[in-house]
Structure 1
Amino acid sequence: MPQYLTPGVYVEELMGGARPIEGVGTEIAAFVGFVDDDEAPRGVPTSVNNWTQYTSIFGTEGPSTPLTLAVHGFFLNGGQRCYVLNVGPDGTVGGTPGEPGISALEHIDEIAIVAAPGMTDAASYDAVLSHCELMRDRVAVLDGPAHVDDLNDLIRPATMSTPSAASASSSSSSSSPSGSSAGSEESTGEGEEGSAPPPPAPTPRRGGGSGGPGGGMARASEWGAEYVPWISVVDPLTGTLVEAPPSGHVAGVWARTDGSRGVHKAPANETVRGALDLTRAFTPSEQGLLNSAGINAIRNIHGSIKIWGARTLAGSASEWRYLPVRRLFAFAEESIQQGTGWVVFEPNDQVLWNAIRRDVRGFLRRLWRDGALMGATEREAFFVKCDAETNPQENIDAGIVTALIGMAPVKPAEFIVFKVSQYTAAAGEEAQ
C-alpha cells in the first residue's frame, strides 16, 4: 500500500476490472508417422506452416508415405499450421525404448487435433487415444482399415491377436501384374462393370496395417473420431493415383470449419478437397450400421465426396457422442483455464468470486452470441456460480476456490425429418 508522506499530487494506475478470456486455438494439428528420407528430423515434433516447407524438411523423394499424403491433404483442405513427428520406418506411435513416440507432443499446448495417418492397428489406436485422454485438450482423427470386405468386421474392436490385413493386401497387390489390391471389384466407386481397378495403397510398414484379417475399429473413447473409407488422391510427389488414409484431409476440414464457422459447427457435410474417389461406396443402410457404432463415413453425395458423419467413439448412449460437443467443451475448458491464471494467490473472498463470475460470464456470453450455446436467453444458455455456497470456509482455509459452470451446447441436426401428407382444400376449409 503506498505511503503519502510528502504533500503533493499523486497519480496511480488501478486495474480497470474485467480481464477478457480469449479463446484458444483449435485448428492446429499434429501428425505422427514416417518418411523415407534418412536425413529428415526424427523423434522431434517439427512445426510446418505450408506444403513447401514440409517438402524442404522431409524430402521430395516419392512415392509418398501415408504421413506425406496426410500433411498434403491437411493443407489442401484449409489447414494452416501443423506439427509433424517422424518416428521412422521402424518406429511405432507409442514409441520404443529409444524413441519417445507420441509422448513428444505432450509439451506443445497449441495442438488441438492429433492423427497417425495409416496406422490402423490396435496398439496405434490406443496410443493416440490415450494421449488425447491424458491431455484433454485435443481430439484424435483415426483412420479405419484400408480394405474390409465384411462390414461386421469393421465395427468389431481391433485386437493385436491377429495378423495385419493391410500387409496381406499389400502382398497380394505386389504379386498382381496390374498392382490392384484384393477385393478391387468392391473397392471401385459404385461398383460398375468395366470400371478401372483402384490405385495401389501405400506399402504399410511396422506400426501400420489394420487390426486383423477383416479390420477392426478403435476402442470406445470420447476423445477420438474414426473415418472410413480410404480415398483416392494424386500423389503430390509422383503424380500417380494412390489410396490415402483420410485422416489428414479430415483434419484439414476440421481446421477449415473451425476458421469459417467455429468449433461448435460439426465438421460434416463438407467437401473433401483432393479426394477423387473412394475405395468403397457405402449404402445408406451400411452407413446406418457404421453410424450406430460411432464410425463416420465419407460418401459420394451427388457427385461430391463429403464427410457424412460427426460422431465420436464414445457410443450412442454417451453425452459426448457428438464430435462438435466434445471439441466445444475442450475449447471452453482450456480457454477458461488459461484466461483465469491471474486468480492464483489472490485473496479468496467475495471480490475474487465476483471477478471470476464476471470474466467467465463474459466469455460464455460471446460463445452464446456466436451460436455455440443453446437458448433464447443467457439464463437458458449457461450459468456460472461462484459464491459462499461453492466456497465454504473449510475450502477457503485449504486455499481452494470453486466455480460451477454449466453450458447448453448446440448439437448437430443429424437426422432431418419432414413429414409430408396430402392436403385437400375442401377438408382444410372445413377444419377451419
Structure 2
Amino acid sequence: MPEYTVPGVYVQETSSRRKTIDGVNTHTTAFIGPTLQGPDASVDSAPELLTSFAEFEQIYGSLDDLPADECQSSATNFVAYAARAFFDEGGQYLYISRTSDFSSLASYQRALAAIEPLQDIAIVATPGNTSVEVAHALIAYAERPDTQSFAVIDPPPGLTSAEVLEYRGQFDSKYAAMYYPWVVASSKEDEEILLPPSGFICGIYARTDVQRGVHHAPANEELRGVVGFEHNITRIDQEKLNPEGINCLRFFEGRGHQVWGARTLSREPEWKYVNVRRFFNYLQASIDRGTPWAESTPNGEILWANIQQLISDFLFNEWRKGSLVGNKVEEAFFVRCDRSTMTQLDIDNQRVVCLVGVAVIKPAEFMVFRVELNAA
C-alpha cells in the first residue's frame, strides 16, 4: 500500500481480470532428422518455427535426395517430404531439429535435447528413421513429465502384417502410436515414391485438433495427396493389428485413403486411445502453465480455494465445449484442494496437493446395429 503524505487526488491502476487457465496449443510439431541444409541442432541455436513448406525450403532445402552415407542405403529426403505432407494435411506449426546424419543414435539424442527448451511442442516424430533405439529415445522424450509430448513411430517399410506385429512388440508406451503401412505419394518429379506415415499423421493430428479439438480421435480422416499404400490392408489384417495397437491406413471405395485407428502402444486399458492420452497432456500442460502465480503464495485455505475455483472454471469450459462426458457438471469432473488431499507434512513442506478427476470421451470404435425382423 503506497504512503500518501501530501493532500491531493491519487490514481491507482488495478486489474479486475480474474485469473484464468488458457488452453495450451496441442498441435505444434517437431521433426527430428537430416535435411539438405540448415542449422545443425547439436551445435547451433534452437530450431526456428515454420508455418509453411516454403519456409522449410528456404531454411532446410528442397525435396532433393540426401547424400548417401555408409549406414543408410536410401538417400530419400524423408524429413522434407514429411514437412510437405504435414502442411498439406493441415499442420500449422513445425520445428525441424536437424541431425548431422541419418543413423547415429547420439545425433538424434542431441537433436532431441535441442528442442527441450521449446515448451509448445506437443507432437514429435523422426520421419523415416525406423531404428528401434531411435524410437525408444523418441518415446523416452515424450514420456518425460516436462515435455507433455506425444510420439508418432514409423515402422520399417516392406513389413508384412506378421512382421509389423513383431516390430511393434518392442514398444509399450501410452505416449506413442504407430501407423502401418507406408504411404505412396508423388515425388518432386511427379513419380510415385514410398514415404513413412508419420508426416501425414502428424498433420492429421494438427488438423483434427484445430477443427474438432484434441479430445477428438484423429481417425476416420482422409489422407490428402496420397496415391496409395505399400500394402492394401484388409479387414482380416486389421482384426489382427488393431487389438495390438497398430493403426491401419486403408483405402475404401468412395471414401478414399483413410486413417482407420487411434490407439496408442500401451498395454494399459485406460490409455488405449490416442485422444485420451493427448487430451490429458493438454489438461496437465494447461493447468501447469496457468498456475505459476501460486508459487510462494501463503499455503492456506485461501490459496486452496482459489486453485480449486480456477481449475474448476477451466474444466467447466472444457465440458461446455464437449470435451468431457456427462449431462451434469458433477458427472464430468471434480476438483478437490483442501485438507482431504494434503497431510500436515505436505503443508509444512510447502506442498499444495490438488486432486482432479475428469470423465474423458473415448472414440466409438465399434458401431453395433441390432436389426430385428418381425414376423407379419
The aligned residue for residue 162 of structure 2 is 152
8 Å CA contact retained: 2:63, 2:77: no
8 Å CA contact retained: 1:225, 1:313: yes
8 Å CA contact retained: 1:356, 1:386: yes
In the TM superposition, residue 18 of structure 1 has moved relative to its aligned partner by 2.6
Alignment partners' CA distance in 1, 2:169 and 2:6: 76
The aligned residue for residue 314 of structure 2 is 363
The aligned residue for residue 19 of structure 1 is 19
The aligned residue for residue 69 of structure 2 is none
Q: Deviations over 1:359-418 (max 9, x none)?
A: 111110111111111101111000010123223433222111111111110100011111
Q: Letter of the aligned partner of 1:353 in structure 2?
A: W
The aligned residue for residue 40 of structure 2 is 42
Q: Deviations over 1:221-276 (max 9, x none)?
A: 000000000011011x3322100001001100000000000000000000001111
8 Å CA contact retained: 1:32, 1:93: no
Q: Does 1:418 align with 2:338?
A: no
Q: Deviations over 1:45-79 (max 9, x none)?
A: 33221111111112226245111111110000000
Q: What is the SS of the residue equivalent to 2:305?
A: helix
1:28-427 matched pairs, under 5 angstroms: 28-35=28-35, 37=36, 39-43=37-41, 44=44, 45-60=47-62, 62-63=64-65, 64-95=76-107, 100-134=110-144, 135-149=146-160, 151-156=161-166, 158=167, 218-235=170-187, 237-303=188-254, 304-315=256-267, 317-425=268-376
Q: Deviations over 1:326-371 (max 9, x none)?
A: 0000000000000011111111122111111111111101111111
Alignment partners' CA distance in 1, 2:143 and 2:106: 14
Q: Report how many residues are paired.
A: 360
Alignment partners' CA distance in 2, 1:147 and 1:370: 42
Q: Letter of the aligned partner of 1:142 in structure 2?
A: I
Alignment partners' CA distance in 2, 1:90 and 1:402: 44
Greater CA drift, 238-247 or 335-344: 238-247
Alignment partners' CA distance in 2, 1:388 and 1:9: 45
Q: Deviations over 1:168-208 (max 9, x none)?
A: xxxxxxxxxxxxxxxxxxxxxxxxxxxxxxxxxxxxxxxxx
Greater CA drift, 328-337 or 49-58: 49-58
Q: What is the SS of the residue equivalent to 1:379?
A: helix
Q: What is the SS of the residue equivalent to 2:350?
A: coil
In the TM superposition, residue 103 of structure 1 has moved relative to its aligned partner by 1.9
Greater CA drift, 404-413 or 351-360: 351-360
Q: Mind listing any 5+ residue stretches in structure 2 that lack a counterpart?
A: 66-75
Mark the structure with the bigger radius of gyration: 1
Greater CA drift, 59-68 or 140-149: 59-68
8 Å CA contact retained: 2:121, 2:147: no
Q: Deviations over 1:25-45 (max 9, x none)?
A: 01111111112x2x4322253
In the TM superposition, residue 10 of structure 1 has moved relative to its aligned partner by 5.2
Q: What is the SS of the residue equivalent to 1:95?
A: helix
The alignment yields a C-alpha RMSD, in angstroms, of 1.9
Alignment partners' CA distance in 1, 2:190 and 2:154: 23
Q: Residues 4 and 397 (structure 1 numbering): CA distance in 2 closer, same or farther, change over 3 Å?
A: farther
Alignment partners' CA distance in 1, 2:106 and 2:143: 14
Q: What is the SS of the residue equivalent to 1:375?
A: coil
8 Å CA contact retained: 1:386, 1:402: yes
Instruction: Tell me the TM-score normalized by structure 2.
Output: 0.90
Alignment partners' CA distance in 2, 1:77 and 1:24: 21
Q: Letter of the aligned partner of 2:174 in structure 1?
A: E
Q: Letter of the aligned partner of 1:27 in structure 2?
A: H
Q: What is the SS of the residue equivalent to 1:107?
A: coil
Q: Residues 80 and 298 (structure 1 numbering): CA distance in 2 closer, same or farther, change over 3 Å?
A: same
Q: Letter of the aligned partner of 2:151 in structure 1?
A: A
Q: What is the SS of the residue equivalent to 2:226?
A: coil
8 Å CA contact retained: 1:87, 1:93: no
Q: Residues 271 and 10 (structure 1 numbering): CA distance in 2 closer, same or farther, change over 3 Å?
A: same
Greater CA drift, 2-11 or 114-123: 2-11
Q: Letter of the aligned partner of 1:148 in structure 2?
A: L
